[in-house]
Structure formats: C-alpha cells, structure tokens
Structure 1
C-alpha cells in the first residue's frame, strides 16, 4: 500500500502526542480527524488518478482539506 501524504501526524509533528491523546478522549477532535482523514484520502486518490476527478473539483477538495487542516491546527493550539 502506498503512503498517503499530508496525514495529521506528518502535518503537525509537534502535536503528535496531543493528536493521539485527543483521538482517545475528545469526540469533537475525533470527528475533525476522521473528516480530515477521509478528505485527505479522497484528494490523494484524485491526485494519483486512482479516482480521477475534474480539475476544478480537485482544487475544491484541496481547498476543503486546507480549511479543515486550519481548523484542526487552531483546535490543537487551543488545547495546548
């Protein structure tokens, strides 16, 4: 299986322990992380043409992933 780039622990290595702790203790964070994981996988499949999409749709997916990543980062900073 190939490595999917942009996983949360790779994007925020300084929060690796916090991410793990929140995944087992915070339902809101679990929802955010699961949504990011699914969206990131969708983007990766589109980028690698496993499941090709229109260029504008791919751009939209990337924008949604970036916005969700920003939300997760803000949440991690807030919880620190």
Structure 2
C-alpha cells in the first residue's frame, strides 16, 4: 500500500467517524444548551439535571439512526475490502 492511499484511508475513516457521531453530539449539545438556559432562568444548579437528559437524548438519537449508521459502516467496509483485494 502506498503512502498516499494510506493517508486517504485514514482521512476517509476520520470523516466517517465524524459523520456518524455528529448527530448524537449535536443533539446532546442542543439539549445541554436548553437545560443550561433553563437552569440559569430558574437558578437550579443540579448536576444530574443536565447529565441524564443528555444521555437519554443521545441514546434515543443513536437508536433512531442505527440503520443509517450500519449502512454507512457496511458501505465503508465493502469499499475497504475492495481496495485491499
């Protein structure tokens, strides 16, 4: 394997990881922001108030996006095996 193709594979892998993780991270960030605004308005400073909803929303988004995630991973694995053999 040439250096250029190895660099390309690493780049494609990192882009795939970012594409797959972005929806869950964005959902967690949005919920965290909304709960932080709620805490600032109501002066509630409970740590679990932000943690539990973020985890729940991220798990929900991951469960909804499982077919899309698996499709992306399978397509990438097929492309990888095609390049190797």
Give the TM-score range, shorter chain: 0.3 to 0.5
Q: TM-score, normalised by structure 1?
A: 0.42
More helix as a share of residues: 2
Between structure 1 and structure 2, the one with the greater Rg is: 2
